[in-house]
Amino acid sequence: MFKQNIQFSRRQALTLAGSGLASAAFAGPVFANTPNVELKGALRTLAGKFFFSTENPGRWKGKEKGHSPIIKVDKDGNNALIRAAVRHPMDHDHFIIKHILMDQNFDFMAEQVFDVNFDMPRSRFEVSGYSGQIYVVSLCNLHDNWVNVSTI
C-alpha cells in the first residue's frame, strides 16, 4: 500500500495547536491567571506544558513579559472593543503568528493573523451582545501558545 508522508512546519503545527484550544478537553475550566479559580482535570495538566501564561510559564520562564497577551476591554452598552497586544519583536526569525479570541466556553470568536513584514502584534476585536469571560491566545513561532483572560 501507498504510505502518505505528511509534514508540518513548526508554524503550521503551532497554528493548528492554538486553534485546537477550543476542543472538548477545555470545556468548562478556566486558566490559572483568573483569581480564585482552580484549574481542573486535563487543563491543569496542560498549563505550563501545552499552553503558557504569566502564572504558568513552564519551560518558557522568563519569557512572560514578551508573550502573555495584555488585554484591554472598553464597553459601551451592548458593544465591546477588545484590544490585545504583546511586547514582542516582529523579526523574521521570531514573531507572533496571530491572536485568537475565544468566549468563556473556549469557542472561537475571531482571530487576527499578522504579517511579519508589516504588522505589530496588536489586535482589535469588536464584540456585540456578549458578556462574560474572554480568552486571548497569542501564538509565537518559537515560544508556543500564551493565554490570558479578561471579562466583558
Sign of the CA dihedral with 42 first, then 46, 52, and 54 last: positive
The confidence score (pLDDT) of residue 9 equals: 53
The answer to whether 45 and 51 are in contact (CB under 8 A) is no
Cα–Cα nearest to 70, from 105, 48, 108, 96: 96
CA-based end-to-end distance of the chain: 54
Q: Look at residue 50 in the predicted model and tell me its pLDDT.
A: 72
Question: Cell match 464584540: residue?
Answer: 127
Please give the distance of CA 143 from its chain centroid, rounded to a whole number.
Answer: 12
Model confidence over 78-94: pLDDT tens digits?
Answer: 999 999 999 998 999 99
Sequence-ordered alpha helix ranges (H) in the chain: 10-19, 41-46, 64-67
Looking at residue 33, its pLDDT comes to 44
This prediction has a pTM of 0.71
Give φ, ψ of 40 to 5 degrees: -125, 150
> Under CATH, which number does the domain 10-151 receive?
2.60.40.730
| Interatomic CA distance for residues 106 and 146, integer angstroms | 14
Contacts of 49 (CB under 8 A, 6+ apart): 58
Going from the C-alpha of 17 to that of each of 11, 35, 51, 128, 143, the distances in angstroms are: 10, 26, 9, 27, 13
Those residues of the chain that have pLDDT short of 50 are: 1-8, 12-16, 18-39
- Provide the 10 A C-beta neighbour count for residue 18: 24
- For residue 106, give every residue at least 6 positions away whose Cβ sits within 8 Å of its Cβ, in sequence order, or none: 21, 22, 23, 26, 27, 135
